């Protein structure tokens, strides 16, 4: 950590320049429309170096058209461009003299664009406000040839790029980024910002998009508008790496886009725990700008075991829209195909201590080894239509997965003094196939344009989700259990399972048009918006379980009539009711502040019908449930013009959970020698209450105040379905489910962000903190027990950027969790404290060569155990060649200190388990990559 700081300071010294007050001057004047006799409010004045057209400084004229730009270098040839929307720009060349440091341009007259005059080529302004949209013009900012959109965004006032690639404007997150009004290769903003070159961009637009459901809510959107003729391009990557310990990595991607269409083909292979679950993740790993302090491009050292993946995929998008009148208009078809094969090898060693005052303490040791090969194919399409009259979305998808696994384990149980009680060994072989076919979507009929509408205007709205999936599972379980205290308990099993499941689901949700005029009459002035909603979920589940046991005398598998079972389960779930909403303007002083509130109340009922038919008659169960599940939320907003805005939300929700068949009447599988479930036909549904409060504060300008927010949530469950566990001397547990009252949980979280931009320096801070408390009832050996758990977490992240070249990131996290049993006898506590400190540095050393290094230190201290600590230190040298920087040589050293461990601790109220899992450790690798890039039409 100290080494990183020293490097950082040395680089700062290398780059830092002192501003000599004798070397700077000022220009001033007034920008006017002299023909029409008025000054141009907020005209843009931008000053550039004549030598390389790099931007020196820019500002907006004041209300009287006056400007005064300071810190202008003396003795340097410069030019000033004056621009205003709807006017021809004006350029003035000048050089400030030492003898006269203040240059007064007096009146700078601009002409209306309709007036024909000699054209002067000037650069577009760095920034301007175009109605409600803030626009930054890319050509005003001079960056190196290989700069990407992300490099440009770092330069823009008010915009901050964080270490994880996310972007905020004045502290508020940008949720959605489009390119020329359309999603770009799946919609992940990093694909656009880290691949598109800055020099094909005309402007970056930032604007607010109001939420259709809540007038008090809006999200920030960003659109990258490309230059004319640049809406066509090709970019990708071809990379190969090989290292010690036979580690390898390879990836290839090719992306093509034009005005109507986008196509991507991508593939990757590695045995370094870089696993991707989608094409979007593969895209993230193949981006052109793989620099900075982002650790997204490093292998995941926290993954369990060693994973070897071969994956590929394709993305497709076609835009049918002829004319986009507003940015929300859409007529878009996208498709996504992903295929992957993963080989996983993992070894686990866990220690489980049972520490409950009512029973004898035991310790269980488990060692297991697992090898799995899994295959996956996902195909999905998405069609979206949105215009002023209606919107439609249809999303069909198909998944096909299969896997084969082979695992073995050895377990032993001893008393706390080390006296052996029992042991067991098991081997499992399995093969599984899964197929899913589904379609989701919705249709919304909107109010005709121009007709009077209330502020909250949900109209006719239909959503649906229809799917069916089939799975087949073949598994063989060979188990031997030996009791060292009672040999009569010894058991051996060789059991085969062949399970086929077919599961069909249909969901339809309909929301009516506003009904208040029907109820209150044509001249309704109540302001209440009233709709009816109905959601119907149907589920048909058919399972065919064939279980057979190996019969030694006949040397064949014989049917196990108890566990062999066919199940036909049907569930009907209907939620219906009335939704009421109203919007209030509480108080406002025009031009000063506005306080508004919206109230939404849902008076819903729920009806469920559960019907299970099975060969095992104990599982023939039919139940009906009825419940009233209201919900409500209130949002309050206080907008103080020119200062800040505060938003408060209070929400109350209810729901029920019905007991599952496996909880009411499970079939006991004797091969699970340490756990025996029992059924309870008297189980009732649990009723959940949840209250959530949130608060957010956003200053109008990032420079004026802190952006912060809090969240508070509380949950209480009546008749919670929980465990009642009995332990025997062999360490085996008998478990059945009961209803119990007393579950409560409380969670509090807060966050704050702040960023500063000063000339070439940028500082960013992000602080998040959370605390949660829960108390969960259960029964242990017949005694009611309450497991109280606390956990707290604080994370501080600080980032520093200098001249968009040096990046330094620092994170400190502290998390603490503890739980104790509050029963009728003694208290037992378990807890752990985790400290995580990490730091990253990225610094260019000389032309094209960058040094990246990151180090993470983890300290983990569970109760009654020794502290575990380790450091993971990675370092990478990256050399980019050519002016476009599209050829890369990379030397990586991962887990240099060879200390990586994977440890987890779990407490279920009666036992504490600590598990060590095998994981990826030190290796070195050399990689080469080529990034093909071509943008724009051929000249």
Report which of 836, 923, 853 is spatially closest to residue 295, judged by C-alpha positions.
853
Q: Which of 2, 51, 449, 758 binds another protein (CB under 8 A)?
A: 449
Q: Mask: binding to another protein, 40-79, rule CB under 8 A, as x and -?
A: ----------------------xxxx--------------
Report which of 235, 317, 237, 342 is spatially closest to residue 282, judged by C-alpha positions.
237
Q: Are 140 and 123 in contact (CB under 8 A)?
A: yes
Nearer Cβ to another protein, position 62 or 633? 62
Shortest spacing between CB 718 and another protein, in angstroms: 42
Total chain residues near another protein (CB under 8 A): 26
Check residue 759 for interaction with another protein (CB under 8 A): no
Structure-token match 């090989």, residue found: 242
**Ramachandran region of residue 648, left (φ > 0), alpha (ψ -120 to 50) or beta?**
beta
Check residue 21 for interaction with another protein (CB under 8 A): no
Distance CA 305, CA 346 (A): 4
State the number of CA atoms in the 13 A half-sphere of 250 facing the CB. Answer: 7
Q: Which of residues 307-326 bind another protein (CB under 8 A)?
A: 325
Structure-token match 């303490």, residue found: 361
Check residue 33 for interaction with another protein (CB under 8 A): yes
Distance CA 620, CA 801 (A): 66
Nearer Cβ to another protein, position 66 or 611? 66
Phi, psi of 732 (to 5 degrees): -90, 150
Nearer Cβ to another protein, position 119 or 590? 590
Check residue 102 for interaction with another protein (CB under 8 A): no
Nearer Cβ to another protein, position 38 or 242? 38
Distance CA 282, CA 313 (A): 8
Check residue 642 for interaction with another protein (CB under 8 A): yes
Q: Which of 86, 229, 420, 932 binds another protein (CB under 8 A)?
A: 86
Distance CA 427, CA 558 (A): 19
Q: Which of 21, 418, 450, 782 binds another protein (CB under 8 A)?
A: 450
Shortest spacing between CB 63 and another protein, in angstroms: 6
Distance CA 643, CA 593 (A): 9
Q: Which of residues 319-358 bind another protein (CB under 8 A)?
A: 325
Q: Which of 2, 591, 846, 866 binds another protein (CB under 8 A)?
A: 591
Nearer Cβ to another protein, position 448 or 622? 448
Check residue 112 for interaction with another protein (CB under 8 A): yes
Check residue 590 for interaction with another protein (CB under 8 A): yes
Distance CA 546, CA 561 (A): 9
Check residue 132 for interaction with another protein (CB under 8 A): no
Check residue 641 for interaction with another protein (CB under 8 A): yes
Distance CA 708, CA 604 (A): 34
Check residue 586 for interaction with another protein (CB under 8 A): no
Dihedral of CA atoms 722, 728, 731, 733 in degrees, nearest 10, equals -30
Distance (Å) of CA 210 to CA 271, 272, 392: 45, 43, 19
Question: How many residues are listed for the chain in this entry?
Answer: 939
Nearer Cβ to another protein, position 129 or 849? 129
Q: Which of 114, 119, 132, 417 binds another protein (CB under 8 A)?
A: 114
Q: Which of residues 253-292 bind another protein (CB under 8 A)?
A: none
Check residue 135 for interaction with another protein (CB under 8 A): no
Nearer Cβ to another protein, position 30 or 206? 30
Nearer Cβ to another protein, position 67 or 727? 67
Shortest spacing between CB 227 and another protein, in angstroms: 24
Report which of 343, 288, 281 is spatially closest to residue 312, judged by C-alpha positions.
281
Stretch that binds another protein, among 283-291, 455-463, 585-593, 654-662 (CB under 8 A): 585-593
Q: Which of 94, 436, 437, 593 binds another protein (CB under 8 A)?
A: 593
Nearer Cβ to another protein, position 14 or 449? 449
Shortest spacing between CB 632 and another protein, in angstroms: 24
Phi, psi of 771 (to 5 degrees): -140, 140
Nearer Cβ to another protein, position 6 or 589? 589
What 3-state class would DSSP assign to 51?
coil
Nearer Cβ to another protein, position 258 or 526? 526
Stretch that binds another protein, among 224-232, 454-462, 562-570, 589-597 (CB under 8 A): 589-597
Nearer Cβ to another protein, position 19 or 63? 63
Check residue 246 for interaction with another protein (CB under 8 A): no
What 3-state class would DSSP assign to 258?
coil
Shortest spacing between CB 449 and another protein, in angstroms: 6
Shortest spacing between CB 61 and another protein, in angstroms: 11
Nearer Cβ to another protein, position 64 or 419? 64
Shortest spacing between CB 94 and another protein, in angstroms: 22
Dihedral of CA atoms 668, 673, 674, 675 in degrees, nearest 10, equals 0
Check residue 117 for interaction with another protein (CB under 8 A): no
Q: Are 435 and 455 in contact (CB under 8 A)?
A: no
Distance CA 247, CA 257 (A): 34
Nearer Cβ to another protein, position 417 or 590? 590
What 3-state class would DSSP assign to 132?
coil
Nearer Cβ to another protein, position 34 or 626? 34
Distance CA 492, CA 482 (A): 9
In sequence order, the 6+-apart residues with CB closer than 8 A to the CB of 219 are 175, 176, 208, 209, 211
Shortest spacing between CB 100 and another protein, in angstroms: 20
User: What are the strands, taking DSSP E only, across 552-685?
Assistant: 556-559, 565-589, 593-614, 621-628, 631-640, 644-657, 675-678
Shortest spacing between CB 452 and another protein, in angstroms: 9
Tokens of 274: 């870089």
Q: Which of 5, 15, 38, 107 binds another protein (CB under 8 A)?
A: 38
Q: Are 511 and 464 in contact (CB under 8 A)?
A: no
Report which of 873, 907, 869, 914 is spatially closest to residue 892, judged by C-alpha positions.
873
Shortest spacing between CB 700 and another protein, in angstroms: 12
Q: Which of 2, 18, 36, 846 binds another protein (CB under 8 A)?
A: 36
Check residue 592 for interaction with another protein (CB under 8 A): yes
DSSP 667: P
Q: Which of 19, 106, 118, 131 binds another protein (CB under 8 A)?
A: 131
Nearer Cβ to another protein, position 32 or 495? 32
Report which of 97, 82, 90 is spatially closest to residue 118, judged by C-alpha positions.
90
Q: Are 262 and 236 in contact (CB under 8 A)?
A: no
Shortest spacing between CB 120 and another protein, in angstroms: 21
Nearer Cβ to another protein, position 388 or 540? 388
Q: Are 786 and 777 in contact (CB under 8 A)?
A: yes
In sequence order, the 6+-apart residues with CB closer than 8 A to the CB of 878 are 290, 291, 849, 850, 851, 852, 888, 889, 890
Check residue 39 for interaction with another protein (CB under 8 A): yes
Report which of 138, 335, 159 is spatially closest to residue 226, judged by C-alpha positions.
138
Tokens of 323: 């004319």
State the greatest distance between any 2 C-alpha atoms of the chain, in Å, as a whole number. 111
Nearer Cβ to another protein, position 26 or 300? 26
Q: Which residues sit at the interface with another protein, rule CB under 8 A?
A: 33, 36-39, 62-65, 86, 112, 114, 131, 325, 388, 449-450, 585, 588-593, 641-642
């Amino acid at each position: 950590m100290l080494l990183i700081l020293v490097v950082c300071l040395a680089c700062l010294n290398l780059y830092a320049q002192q501003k000599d007050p004798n070397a700077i001057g000022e220009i001033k004047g007034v920008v006017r429309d002299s023909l029409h006799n008025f000054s141009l409010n907020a005209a843009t004045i931008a000053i550039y170096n004549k030598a390389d057209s790099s931007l020196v400084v820019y500002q907006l004229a004041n209300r009287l058209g006056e400007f005064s730009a300071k810190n202008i270098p003396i003795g340097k040839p410069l030019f000033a461009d004056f621009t205003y929307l709807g006017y021809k720009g004006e350029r003035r060349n000048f050089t400030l003299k030492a003898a006269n440091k203040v240059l007064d341009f007096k009146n700078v007259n601009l002409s209306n664009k309709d007036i024909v005059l000699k054209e002067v080529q000037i650069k577009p302004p760095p920034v301007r406000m175009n109605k409600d949209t803030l626009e930054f013009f890319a050509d005003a900012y001079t960056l190196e040839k290989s700069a990407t959109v992300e490099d440009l965004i770092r330069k823009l006032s008010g915009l901050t790029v964080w270490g994880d690639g996310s972007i905020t404007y004045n502290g508020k997150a940008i949720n959605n980024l489009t390119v020329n009004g359309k999603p770009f290769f799946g919609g992940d903003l990093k694909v656009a910002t880290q691949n598109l070159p800055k020099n094909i961009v005309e402007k970056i637009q930032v604007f607010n998009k109001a939420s259709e459901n809540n007038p008090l809510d809006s999200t920030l959107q960003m659109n990258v508008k490309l230059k004319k003729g640049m809406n066509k391009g090709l970019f990708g990557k071809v990379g190969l790496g090989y290292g010690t310990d036979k580690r390898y990595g390879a990836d290839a991607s090719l992306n093509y886009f034009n005005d109507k269409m986008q196509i991507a083909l991508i593939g990757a292979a590695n045995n370094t725990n870089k696993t991707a679950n989608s094409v979007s993740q593969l895209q993230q790993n193949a981006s052109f700008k793989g620099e900075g302090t982002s650790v997204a491009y490093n292998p995941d050292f926290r993954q369990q075991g060693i994973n070897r993946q071969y994956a590929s995929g394709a993305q497709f998008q076609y835009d049918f829209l002829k004319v986009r009148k507003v940015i929300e208009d859409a007529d878009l078809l996208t498709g996504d195909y992903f295929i992957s094969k993963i080989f996983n090898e993992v070894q686990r060693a866990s220690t489980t201590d049972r520490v409950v005052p009512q029973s004898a303490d035991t310790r269980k040791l488990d060692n297991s080894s697992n090898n799995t090969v899994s295959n996956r194919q996902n195909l999905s399409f998405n069609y979206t239509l949105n215009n002023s009259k209606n919107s439609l979305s249809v999303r069909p998808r198909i998944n096909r997965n299969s896997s084969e696994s082979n695992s073995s384990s050895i377990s032993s149980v001893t008393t706390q003094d080390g006296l052996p009680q029992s042991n067991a060994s098991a081997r499992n072989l399995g093969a599984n196939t899964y197929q899913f076919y589904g379609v989701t979507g919705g249709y919304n009929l909107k109010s005709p344009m121009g007709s009077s509408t209330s502020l909250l205007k949900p109209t006719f709205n239909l959503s649906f989700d229809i799917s069916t999936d089939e799975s087949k599972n073949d598994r063989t379980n060979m188990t031997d259990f030996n009791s060292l205290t009672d040999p009569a308990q010894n058991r051996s099993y060789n059991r085969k399972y062949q399970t086929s499941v077919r599961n069909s689901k249909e969901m339809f949700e309909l929301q009516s048009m506003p009904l208040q005029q029907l109820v209150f009459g044509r001249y309704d002035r109540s302001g209440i918006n009233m709709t009816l909603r109905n959601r119907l979920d149907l589920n048909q589940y058919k399972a065919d379980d064939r279980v057979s046991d190996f019969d030694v005398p006949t040397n064949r598998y014989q049917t196990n009539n108890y566990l062999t079972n066919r199940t036909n389960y049907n569930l009907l779930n209907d939620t219906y009711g009335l939704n009421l909403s109203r919007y209030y303007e509480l108080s406002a002083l025009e031009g000063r502040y506005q306080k508004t509130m919206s109230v939404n109340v849902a008076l819903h009922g729920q009806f469920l019908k559960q019907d299970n038919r099975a060969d095992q008659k104990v599982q023939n169960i039919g139940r009906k449930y009825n419940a009233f599940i209201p919900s409500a939320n209130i949002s309050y907003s206080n907008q103080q013009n020119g200062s800040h805005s505060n938003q408060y939300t209070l929400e109350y929700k209810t729901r029920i959970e019905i007991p599952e068949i496996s909880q009411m009447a499970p079939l006991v599988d004797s091969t699970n020698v340490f756990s025996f479930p029992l059924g309870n036909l008297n189980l009732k549904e649990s009723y959940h209450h949840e209250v959530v409060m949130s608060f957010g504060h956003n200053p109008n300008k990032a420079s004026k105040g802190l952006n912060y927010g809090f969240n508070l949530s509380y949950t209480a469950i009546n008749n919670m379905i929980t465990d009642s566990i009995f332990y025997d001397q062999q360490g085996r547990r008998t478990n059945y489910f009961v209803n119990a009252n007393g579950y409560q949980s409380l969670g509090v979280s807060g966050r704050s962000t702040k960023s500063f931009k000063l000339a070439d320096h940028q500082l960013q801070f992000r602080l998040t903190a959370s605390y949660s408390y829960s108390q969960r009832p259960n029964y242990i050996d017949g005694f009611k027990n309450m497991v109280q758990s606390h956990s707290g977490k604080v994370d501080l992240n600080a980032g520093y950027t200098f001249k968009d070249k040096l990046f330094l990131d620092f994170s400190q996290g502290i998390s603490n969790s503890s739980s104790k049993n509050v029963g009728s006898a003694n208290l037992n506590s378990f807890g752990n404290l985790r400290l995580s400190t990490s730091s990253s540095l990225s610094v260019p050393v000389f032309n094209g060569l960058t040094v990246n290094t990151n180090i993470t230190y983890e300290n983990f201290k569970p109760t009654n155990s020794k502290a575990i600590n380790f450091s993971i230190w990675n370092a990478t040298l990256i050399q980019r060649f050519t002016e476009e920087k599209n050829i890369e040589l990379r030397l990586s050293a991962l887990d240099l200190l060879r200390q990586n461990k994977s440890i987890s601790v779990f407490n279920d109220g009666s036992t504490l388990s600590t598990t060590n899992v095998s994981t990826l450790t030190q290796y070195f690798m050399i990689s080469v990559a080529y990034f093909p890039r071509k943008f724009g039409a051929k000249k």
